[in-house]
Amino acid sequence: MSAVRVHNFTVSLDGFAAGPQQSFDDPLGIGGMRLHEWLFATGTFDSTDGASGLDDEYALQREIGVGATIMGRNMFGPIRGGWGAEQWAGWWGDDPPFHHPVFVLTHHAHAPIHMEGGTTFHFVTEGIQAALEQARAAAGDADVCIGGGVQTLLQYLRARLIDRVHLVIAPVLLGSGERLLGSDPAEPPLGYEVTEMVSSPTVTHVRLRRAT
């Protein structure tokens, strides 16, 4: 069976994947955008001015062999509750960088949105297992990427449905925000082990694998 992977998921040195006070103007919370500067500087993200090197090698893995993406509704957009009249189609413009089917977890049904470049947003109201089944069917032999955000990743991690995680530690202290690892001290360990940890001049890359 194809793998379920997470890539380029960046946390601060103090462990936060988003800063405090997330809003439409600050979708990643105060200071949260600083987490992703390493990615914006890669050739994978910016084919004109981006650089090659270790960070780019990691960033590119997100694109290789991935046939479908799953994301939470809060990553898709800032709208909460019902969808309303506005036709929101994601943060990524007319040609989103996915180029494959994207499954958005939501409690509110919505017709698929077909974008340029091969990206279609599908909306799944039946939960994370159903979304994974649909994503796997769409991906065929390719892998499924869990895109984010934090709460979506946590749901899949707790269900032990993710095989591998590429985590990035940015040299930034946010002080508070939304935590991926160790967010609930009462929770048993998630059952993952560190298989790699290596620094570029900019960030530290970590690979986790589900323990058998």
Q: How much is the CA Rg of the chain, to the nearest whole Å? A: 17
Determine which residue in the list 2, 15, 53, 158 makes contact with its own copies, applying CB under 8 A: 15
Interface pick for its own copies out of 25, 164, 187, 210 (rule CB under 8 A): 187
37 binds its own copies (CB under 8 A): no
Under the binding rule (CB under 8 A), the answer on residue 203 touching its own copies is yes
Closest contact distance (angstroms) between CB of 33 and its own copies is 16
Binding mask 118-157 for its own copies (x = CB under 8 A): ----------------------------------------
Out of 14, 37, 94, 116, the only residue in the binding site for its own copies (CB under 8 A) is 14
Contact 99, 118 (CB under 8 A): yes
Binders of its own copies among 159-178, rule CB under 8 A?
Answer: 167, 169, 171-177
Choose, by CB under 8 A, the member of 78, 97, 127, 182 that binds its own copies: 182
Choose which of 110, 179, 209, 210 interacts with its own copies (CB under 8 A).
179
Tell me how far apart the alpha carbons of residues 118 and 129 are, in angstroms, rounded to a whole number.
Answer: 24
Among 16, 45, 58, 76, the residue binding its own copies under the rule CB under 8 A is 16
Choice from 185, 209, 210, 212 touching its own copies (CB under 8 A): 185
Q: What mask of x and - would describe binding to its own copies in positions 55 to 94, judged by CB under 8 A?
A: ----------------------------------------
SS3 readout for the chain = CCCEEEEEEEEECCCEEECCCCCCCCCCCCCHHHHHHHHHCECCCCCCCCECCHHHHHHHHCCCCEEEEEEEHHHHCCCCCCCCCCCCCCCCCCCCCCCCEEEEECCCCCCCEECHHHCEEEEECCCHHHHHHHHHHHHCCCEEEEEECHHHHHHHHHCCCCCEEEEEEECCCCCCCEECCCCCCCCCCCCEEEEEEEECCCCEEEEEEECC
Q: Minimum Å distance from CB 154 to its own copies?
A: 13
Measured at the CA of 59, the angle between CA 58 and CA 62, to 5 degrees, comes to: 100
Least Å from the CB of residue 185 to its own copies: 4
